[in-house]
Amino acid sequence: MIELNDVWKTYPNGVMAMNGMSIYIQSGEFVYVVGPSGAGKSTFIKMIYREERPTRGEILVGGENLAHMKERHVPYLRRNIGVVFQDFKLLPSMNVFENIAFAMEVVEASKPEIRRRVMDVLDIVRLKNKARFQPHELSGGEQQRVSIARAIVNNPDVLICDEPTGNLDPETSWEIMHLLEEINDRGTTIIMATHNREIVNNMRKRVIAIENGRISRDEVRGRYGYES
Ligand code: ADP
Ligand code: ADP
């Protein structure tokens, strides 16, 4: 499903962020990506949704090599990969419904289809009653649920989460994790970069540790590690 073969990344300023990384992630997996700051976690994640391109090596997502993907195919890839960020990245001038609908408008879904599907995902994240609220009228946890709804609205195979609980209190973080687990149980592959030791140690999923742009550890029911 997602495969990296000997991937290298040197940024234009000369920083070598990825040094020969190879990994295989199967459809339906839940994978935590851990490691110290600057290790290359974000670079790894950005490569998968093609925000960054590798300097060398092969990145296959659903059988397609992203390194060779034509620019005009990128929107189709993005439809198949949802992304959730630490700071939510909701559009402040749009209400909840519009923020989610926008992700379907860019792939030219029909109005009735958008209406039906947005209400479906609002139901999944339990925010049907707040469809007309503006982002600033919501709590952090609610804003993150909206961003998850937006990320799954086009039925992606893969959901990428970059520190999704980084701005949330522990209780709200667990709410978000249970929602992500539900989404994973429905078959969506989840790749989540995190510094949240408690969550990783309690959920016991696959853990990939990255250090110096390489995989330093890959465990089936892993722990956070880096005991401090
Ligand atoms: P992490 O997410 O694990 O903190 P990153 O992937 O963000 O690590 O960064 C890996 C290395 O690449 C770091 O040394 C960082 O400073 C560098 N880096 C990240 N993004 C860029 C960029 N756009 N340009 C130059 N260097 C970058
Ligand atoms: P469709 O609406 O195309 O028949 P499904 O309703 O089975 O498809 O859901 C497909 C995708 O939508 C899932 O992979 C997931 O991303 C999301 N999804 C739908 N329902 C749920 C749910 N109850 N919990 C979590 N995710 C869901």
Q: What is the pLDDT of residues 112-125, one digit of tens each?
A: 999 999 999 999 99
Which ligand sits nearest to residue 156's alpha carbon? 2
Region 62-72: what's the mean pLDDT? Answer: 86
Side chain identity at residue 89, one-letter code: K
**pLDDT given at position 228:** 60
Each residue's pLDDT tens digit, 148-194: 999 999 999 999 999 999 999 999 999 999 999 999 999 999 999 99
Residue nearest to atom 12 of ligand 1 (CA): 17
Are residues 31 and 13 both part of a single domain? yes
**pLDDT given at position 75:** 80
Are residues 161 and 76 both part of a single domain? yes
Using the 3D structure, point to which of 155, 185, 214 is the last residue of a domain. 155
pLDDT grade for 76, boundaries at 50, 70 and 90: confident
For residue 153, what is the DSSP state?
T
Domain span holding position 132: 87-155
Ligand 1 centroid – CA 180 distance (Å): 26
Q: Who has greater pLDDT, 73 or 222? A: 222
- Interatomic CA distance for residues 222 and 205, integer angstroms: 6
- Interatomic CA distance for residues 169 and 163, integer angstroms: 13
DSSP labels, 35-100: --TTSSHHHHHHHHTTSS--SEEEEEETTEEGGG--GGGHHHHHHHEEEEETT----TTS-HHHHH
**Counting Cβ atoms within 10 Å, is residue 80 exposed (0-12), middle (13-18) or buried (19+)?**
middle
Using the 3D structure, point to which of 97, 121, 155 is the last residue of a domain. 155
CATH number, domain at 69?
3.40.50.300
Say how many CA atoms lie within 13 Å of 32 toward its Cβ: 29
For the Cβ of 186 lying below 6 angstroms from any atom of ligand 2, the answer is yes
**pTM of the predicted protein model:** 0.88
Each residue's pLDDT tens digit, 186-199: 999 999 999 999 99
**In the predicted model, is pLDDT for residue 14 greater than 80?**
yes
Number of domains in the chain: 2
Whether the Cβ atoms of residue 33 and residue 195 lie closer than 8 Å to each other: no
